Amino acid sequence: MNDMTKPSSLPQHTPTQRHARALALFDPTLVKPAIAESFRKLSPRAQLRNPVMFVVWVGSVLTTVLGAQALAGQGEAPAGFILGIAAWLWFTVLFANFAEALAEGRGKAQAAALRGSRRNVVAKKLAEARHDAKVTVIDSASLRRGDIVLIEAGDTVPADAEVLDGVASVDESAITGESAPVIRESGGDFSAITGGTRVLSDWLVARVTTNPGEAFLDRMIAMVEGARRKKTPNEIALTILLVALTLIFLLACATLLPFSLYSVKAAGGGSPVGITVLVALLVCLIPTTIGGLLSAIGVAGMSRMMQANVIATSGRAVEAAGDVDVLLLDKTGTITLGNQASAFLPAPGVTEQELADVAQLASLSDETPEGRSIVVLAKERFGLRGRELHDAHFIPFSAQTRMSGVDIPAAGAVREIRKGAAEAVKAHVEALGGQWALAVYDAASEVARRGGTPLVVAEGKRVMGVVELKDIVKGGIKERFAELRAMGIKTVMITGDNRLTAAAIAAEAGVDDFLAEARPEDKLKLIRDTQAEGKLVAMTGDGTNDAPALAQADVAVAMNSGTQAAKEAGNMVDLDSNPTKLIEIVETGKQMLMTRGALTTFSVANDVAKYFAIIPAAFAATYPQLKVLDVMRLNSPDSAILSAVIFNALIIIVLIPLALKGVKYRALGAGALLRRNLLVYGLGGLIVPFVGIKLIDVALGVLGLA
> How many angstroms separate the CA atoms of 453 and 488, rounded?
35
Q: What is the pLDDT of residues 265-299, one digit of tens each?
A: 776 666 777 889 889 889 988 889 898 888 888 77
pLDDT band (50, 70, 90) for residue 7: very low
Q: 445: how many CB neighbours lie within 10 A of its CB?
A: 13
Measure the CA dihedral 253/259/264/265, to 10°: 140
Q: Is 399 annotated as a binding residue?
A: yes
| 1, pLDDT greater than 90 | no
Q: Is 478 annotated as a binding residue?
A: no
Q: Is 370 annotated as a binding residue?
A: yes
Q: Is 330 a catalytic residue?
A: yes
Supply the mean pLDDT for the chain.
Answer: 81
Q: What per-residue confidence (pLDDT) applies to 95?
A: 94
pLDDT band (50, 70, 90) for residue 417: very high
Q: How many angstroms separate the Cα of 79 from the Cα of each of 170, 299, 706? A: 70, 39, 14
Pick from 400, 436, 432, 430: nearest CA to 415: 432
Q: What per-residue confidence (pLDDT) applies to 200?
A: 87
* CATH number for the domain whose boundaries are 323-335+474-575: 3.40.50.1000
> Which range has highest mean pLDDT (201-210, 430-439, 467-476, 648-657)?
648-657
> Which range has highest mean pLDDT (211-215, 268-272, 383-387, 582-586)?
582-586
* Mean pLDDT of the 88-114 span: 82
CB within 8 Å of 112: residues ≥ 6 apart: 19
Q: What per-residue confidence (pLDDT) applies to 277?
A: 86
**Active-site choice (330, 497, 554, 638):** 330
* Mean pLDDT of the 293-311 span: 80
Pick from 94, 96, 102, 319: nearest CA to 229: 319
* Mean pLDDT of the 391-399 span: 80
| 622, pLDDT greater than 80 | no
Q: Is 401 annotated as a binding residue?
A: yes
Q: Which residues of 310-325 are buried (b: 16+ CB within 10 A; e: fewer)?
A: bbbbbbbbbbbbbbbb
> How many angstroms separate the CA atoms of 150 and 137, rounded?
10
Pick from 659, 657, 679: nearest CA to 668: 679
Q: What per-residue confidence (pLDDT) applies to 262?
A: 77
| 117, pLDDT greater than 70 | no
> Which range has highest mean pLDDT (204-218, 351-365, 410-424, 486-500)?
351-365
**CB 197 within 8 Å of CB 158:** no
pTM of the model: 0.66
Phi, psi of 308 (to 5 degrees): -85, 5
Q: Is 366 annotated as a binding residue?
A: yes
Task: Tell me the sheet residues that pair with 413.
Answer: 410
pLDDT band (50, 70, 90) for residue 11: very low
Q: Is 398 annotated as a binding residue?
A: yes
Phi, psi of 379 (to 5 degrees): -70, -45
Q: Is 403 annotated as a binding residue?
A: yes
DSSP state letter for 119: -
Share of the chain above pLDDT 70, in %: 85
Q: What is the pLDDT of residues 630-647, one digit of tens each?
A: 777 777 878 888 988 999
pLDDT band (50, 70, 90) for residue 114: low
| Cα diameter, the chain | 122
| 604, pLDDT greater than 90 | no
pLDDT band (50, 70, 90) for residue 537: very high
Q: What per-residue confidence (pLDDT) applies to 586?
A: 84
pLDDT band (50, 70, 90) for residue 410: confident
Q: What per-residue confidence (pLDDT) applies to 548?
A: 87
CB within 8 Å of 604: residues ≥ 6 apart: 287, 290, 685
Q: What per-residue confidence (pLDDT) applies to 107?
A: 67
Q: What is the pLDDT of residues 18-54, one digit of tens each?
A: 334 445 667 777 888 889 999 999 999 889 888 999 9
Q: Distance from first CA to last CA of the chain, Å, rounded?
A: 70
DSSP string, 269-319: -S-PPPHHHHHHHHHHHS-HHHHHHHHHHHHHHHHHHHHTTEEES-HHHHH
Domain ranges of the chain: 28-109+229-305+588-691, 122-223, 323-335+474-575, 339-468
Q: Is 402 annotated as a binding residue?
A: yes
Q: Is 307 annotated as a binding residue?
A: no
pLDDT band (50, 70, 90) for residue 503: confident
> How many angstroms separate the CA atoms of 237 and 235, rounded?
5
User: Which region, left, alpha or beta, applies to residue 270 given φ > 0 means left and ψ of -120 to 50 means alpha?
Assistant: left
| 452, pLDDT greater than 50 | yes
> How many angstroms separate the CA atoms of 185 and 331, rounded?
23
Share of the chain above pLDDT 90, in %: 19
DSSP string, 64-79: HHHHHHHHTT--SS-H
Q: What per-residue confidence (pLDDT) applies to 115?
A: 61
Q: Is 39 annotated as a binding residue?
A: no
Q: Is 91 annotated as a binding residue?
A: no
Q: What per-residue confidence (pLDDT) applies to 15?
A: 39
Least confident of 276-280, 306-310, 375-379: 306-310
If residue 489 lies in a helix (H) or strand (E), which one and from where to where?
none
* CATH number for the domain whose boundaries are 122-223: 2.70.150.10
* Mean pLDDT of the 120-127 span: 84
* CATH number for the domain whose boundaries are 339-468: 3.40.1110.10
Q: Is 546 annotated as a binding residue?
A: yes
* Mean pLDDT of the 250-260 span: 83
Q: What is the pLDDT of residues 231-254, one digit of tens each?
A: 667 778 888 988 998 999 899 888
Question: What stretches of 411-542 adopt beta strand conformation (E)?
Answer: 413-420, 453-459, 462-473, 490-494, 513-515, 537-541
CB within 8 Å of 648: residues ≥ 6 apart: 88, 92, 283, 284, 288, 289, 606, 610
Q: What is the distance of C-alpha 644 from the center of its chain?
A: 38
DSSP state letter for 161: E
Q: What per-residue confidence (pLDDT) applies to 98?
A: 92
Q: Is 407 annotated as a binding residue?
A: no
